[in-house]
Amino acid sequence: MSRFSAPIAEQIWDMKYRLKSSDGTPVDATVEDTWRRIARSLAKVEKDPAVWEEKFYTALEGFKYLPAGRITAGAGTDRSVTLFNCFVMGTIPDSMGGIFDMLREAALTMQQGGGIGYDFSTIRPKGADVLGVAADASGPLSFMDVWDAMCRTIMSAGSRRGAMMATMRCDHPDIEDFITAKRDPARLRMFNVSVLVTDSFMEAVKANKSWDLTFNGKIYHTVEARDLWNKIMQSTYDQAEPGVIFIDRINAMNNLSYCETIAATNPCGEQPLPPYGACLLGSVNLARLVYAPFAKKASLDQEALSELVATAVRMMDNVVDASRFPLPQQAQEAQTKRRIGLGVTGLADALLMVGLRYGSEEAAEQTERWMKAIARAAYLASVELAKEKGAFPLFDAEKFLATGHMMEMDEDVRAAIREHGIRNALLTSIAPTGTISLYAGNVSSGIEPVFAYAYTRKVLQKDGSRTEEEVVDYAVQLWREKFGDKELPDYFVNAQTLAPMDHVRMQAAAQKWIDSSISKTINCPEDISFDAFKDVYMAAWDSGCKGCTTYRPNDVTGSVLSVSESSENVPEAETGAEVVYISEPLDRPQALEGNTYKLKWPDSEHAIYITVNDVMINGHRRPFEVFINSKNMEHFAWTVALTRMISAVFRRGGDVSFVVEELKAVFDPRGGAWMSGKYVPSILAAIGGVIEHHLITIGFIEGEGMGLKSDPQSQVVQIGGAPRGKACPSCGQYDMRMIEGCMTCGSCGHSKCG
């Protein structure tokens, strides 16, 4: 019998984690082979590999311990990829040479599959003097554009494009431009962005004081702290970004505050890391550890939990020695601190199984107790490893035990560390688990509530047809197996029905015993008032969270799947809109109106001429065909191909604005060019810009980087009156949800955050 409890779980395994040869032939015949591959690989560094291979296999068996996707896909494959998920790159020097050295390091890291974070606060603000060249600085955002263009072309491990986090301090002179940068939807698409908020800034906001924006000791501007806070809030209210990171709290609570300073995080924010910091991830599946689910005696098996955590810590510690690293600085950081990020998944399902309503005071208290049990087990396991293998090289007992987090640890754990040391400097983190949660049978993701108890997923078959299958939450499936069609109890709640403050309560409860941070989305209703929205962030600050990420569905962010609460049995996600495209190409009229544009690429001998012709339909003008010509014969083949392909797309009708987005995203590894004050990553991107300009001119799209203005040939049919979210770029399904700080597809698990 298959180990998979749902078809989607097996499909995720086959697509993302199953080892296959270069021609696509499976090497892992079963998921047991995948577990065996991982266990054998991570046991190789042990003195008795055979014994530990069996123990590691037992932990993996039944999806109890879930290593992060990079470990599951890469361990034991001999592929040149890193098994680490999270990197923060080196401090960016405030010099042109240093900046592009950092860009090269970023490319090398992302090429091996790592998500990266950068603090751009170290780059001088726009307009500052550049000594020696009689010029003004272009500012950090201009260099973020360069990073963004580079990232679009780097395909990371597991067929995912790279993900990046950009942070900027709340006192940097360019902070207001940073806050609003992503209002242009075509800009910084590969970045998540977060503001580093300091304690002094929060105090100034609460006291309604002024706030200086400074760089290298020079005050550039003075603003009202509350005004700046409101700009951050307004942007995230409208755009879901930037996130907020309480950076002073992170540094104060860091076990390594005596030897490192943190100024950035990985793309999803659960790993605040120092320069060249690296961390690997894994999760204990709480949903698989509940004894007698839904019975009066239901409880989490504490003994099994402690044993599983201890084994997981040992496996993760071994990853430090088994993994490759893109850069030697990253290897040194990982090996001298041996940081790991053990978290959980299936929390919401586990709470349901023991009869608790996610978000309630009782659920928060239970979550805190479970997290404490995990922290104690992890730290004591790391002490045992230190006895056997030695403490991490930078361990200093007196300084380590005096840090903020360790001051709150139980005295027996502190005593053990004082006597024997500890193997890993930091041990706990709650990371995004969207894909591995699907792989584990659609358990609830991380510490998030259940998103939808059941929904219908369209699956693309080999013959091109699509079939529908029901995807059911793990806890709901167990309920069905025990009680059939019996109505779900009222403590079954989901992300759509929870009050925002319930989310905050759960995040704060978990954070108390997590030494790194938490990737979590606080879902807010579309009609939440701006003042109530701001209160969510202030509550996160007041309750001890290290950061805050919210999502409010609207016209800009996209609507999440709507969930019916009126169903007699299981609430199901409603089907959304169907976009109807013209099935046959339009006939070409004898005469068309159009415009021809001259494009001169720097350092190119010949110009390129781009003609866009339009057709009139019901009084509206829309693009019909494109001609691209140049005297440069090196361009001949690709310009002809581009002409034919774009024209074919235009003649099919519908929303063709994606053509512009795709062209503008093309990056030339030989380098782009500065045109009209903007960095353009390739000549194809420049052509995309010309076509975009034309579409704006004729009124087909609203503006640069924006969508349709009017399109009489594209009809959007609403079913049940509920709008739906954006289509997944990987599988095309309209099932994108904001989970754990990142847009994630419920159908295939795709997430740009990795």
In angstroms, the CA 551 to CA 652 distance is 35
pLDDT, tens digit, for every residue of 513-570? 999 999 999 999 989 999 999 999 999 999 999 999 999 987 666 654 444 333 334 3
Q: Which of 268, 279, 742, 753 is catalytic?
A: 268
Mean pLDDT, range 661-671, rounded to an integer = 77
pLDDT, tens digit, for every residue of 199-232? 999 999 999 999 999 999 999 999 999 999 999 9
Mean pLDDT, range 413-419, rounded to an integer = 98
Instruction: Check whether 725 has a pLDDT greater than 70.
Output: no
Instruction: Check whether 715 has a pLDDT greater than 50.
Output: no
* CA distances in angstroms from 433 to 68, 281, 283, 345, 685, listed in the order given: 8, 10, 8, 7, 34
What percent of the chain lies above the pLDDT cut of 90?
Answer: 57
Instruction: Check whether 153 has a pLDDT greater than 70.
Output: no
Residue 59 CB partners (closer than 8 Å, separation 6+): 65, 308, 311, 312, 315
Annotation marks residue 85 as catalytic: no
In angstroms, the CA 291 to CA 354 distance is 9
Residue 591 confidence class, pLDDT cut points 50, 70, 90: confident
What is the residue type of 125? P
Instruction: Check whether 128 has a pLDDT greater than 70.
Output: yes
The pLDDT of residue 33 is 96
Instruction: Check whether 379 has a pLDDT greater than 80.
Output: yes
Using the structure block, give the residue that is written with the tokens 């949660």. Answer: 437
Annotation marks residue 268 as catalytic: yes
The pLDDT of residue 316 is 97
Q: How many CB atoms lie within 10 A of CB 71?
A: 27
> What is the DSSP code (8-state) at residue 181?
G
Mean pLDDT, range 739-744, rounded to an integer = 74
In angstroms, the CA 89 to CA 98 distance is 13
More confidently predicted of 111 and 351: 351
Residue 154 confidence class, pLDDT cut points 50, 70, 90: low
Residue 98 CB partners (closer than 8 Å, separation 6+): 92
Please state the pTM of the whole predicted model.
Answer: 0.80
Peptide bond into 242 cis (omega under 30): yes
Mean pLDDT, range 351-379, rounded to an integer = 97
* CA proximity to 373, closest of 384, 381, 363, 361: 381
Return the half-sphere exposure (C-beta side, CA atoms, 13 A cut-off) of residue 748: 21
Least confident of 11-20, 259-268, 299-308, 589-598: 589-598
The pLDDT of residue 157 is 34
Q: Which of 251, 266, 285, 494 is catalytic?
A: 266
Q: Is 428 helix (H, G, I), strand (E, B) or coil?
A: strand
Mean pLDDT, range 641-650, rounded to an integer = 86
Q: Is the alpha carbon torsion for 699, 700, 706, 711 positive or negative? A: positive
The pLDDT of residue 733 is 63
Residue 711 near residue 655 (C-beta atoms within 8 A): yes
Mean pLDDT, range 597-620, rounded to an integer = 82
Winning range, highest mean pLDDT, from 73-87, 109-123, 326-340, 625-639: 326-340
Q: H or E segment at 588? A: none
Least confident of 30-39, 140-149, 309-318, 677-686: 677-686
Mean pLDDT, range 48-63, rounded to an integer = 97
The pLDDT of residue 460 is 61
The pLDDT of residue 630 is 83
Q: What is the maximum span of the chain, computed from C-alpha positions, in angstroms?
A: 88
Residue 134 confidence class, pLDDT cut points 50, 70, 90: low
Annotation marks residue 748 as catalytic: no
The pLDDT of residue 85 is 81
| Alpha carbon of residue 463 to chain centroid | 32
Least confident of 123-132, 266-275, 437-446: 123-132
What is the residue type of 280? L
pLDDT, tens digit, for every residue of 423-458? 999 999 999 888 899 999 999 999 999 988 888 877
Q: H or E segment at 170? A: none
Q: Which of 53, 241, 270, 333 is catalytic?
A: 270
Instruction: Check whether 44 has a pLDDT greater than 80.
Output: yes
In angstroms, the CA 429 to CA 511 distance is 9
Q: H or E segment at 736? A: strand 736-739
Least confident of 5-9, 408-412, 571-575: 571-575
Residue 159 confidence class, pLDDT cut points 50, 70, 90: very low
Averaged pLDDT score across all residues of the chain: 86
Residue 710 near residue 699 (C-beta atoms within 8 A): yes
pLDDT, tens digit, for every residue of 174-205? 999 999 998 887 788 889 999 999 999 999 99
